[in-house]
Amino acid sequence: MSRYISEKLRIKVIEEANNCCEYCLQSNLVSFYPHQIDHIISLKHGGKTELDNLAYACFACNNAKGSDIGTILLPNRTFIRLFNPRIDNWYEHFEIENGVIYDKSDIGKATIKVLNLNEVDRVIERQDMYS
């Protein structure tokens, strides 16, 4: 598995994402840190460096996600996978209001939890972005 991502593939991922984080929708144009290319399924879990396994992620989302592919949701202790921007529609799993991202599914709930999407600073940043 290669960690190297060609410039051509990097551009395709960014275009696919419309220059925004595919997890929290933050535009790279207003981000303090440049966005990064994320392996949706990490190399350590057998993911490949191919377009259908790469997402454009802001620093905060990519850093929080790490190599995670899911989490346990209580009280049922059920394993739920994280949102996958290549196979899932963002608006089927989330909605956003006043900078807060709300879940509409267990996948949304798991992703909000693991990626800390509603951390206070991130909500404030989104409020500024959408005002």
Q: What is the pLDDT of residues 11-58, one digit of tens each?
A: 999 999 999 999 999 998 887 889 999 999 999 999 999 999 999 999
With beta carbons less than 8 A apart as the criterion, state whether 104 and 90 touch.
Answer: no
Domain boundaries, position 83: 7-130
In a domain, 49, yes or no: yes
**How many independent structural domains does the chain possess?**
1
Q: What is the model's pTM? A: 0.92
In a domain, 50, yes or no: yes
In a domain, 1, yes or no: no
Kindly report the backbone phi and psi dihedral angles of residue 109, in degrees, each rounded to the nearest multiple of 5, phi listed first.
-60, -45
What confidence score (pLDDT) does residue 75 get?
92
Examine the pLDDT at 129 and tell me if it is beyond 80.
Answer: no
In a domain, 14, yes or no: yes
Shortest CA distance to 86 belongs to which of 111, 43, 39, 53?
Answer: 53
In a domain, 2, yes or no: no
Instruction: Report the mean per-residue pLDDT for the chain.
Output: 93
Q: What is the pLDDT of residues 90-112, one digit of tens each?
A: 999 999 999 999 999 999 999 99
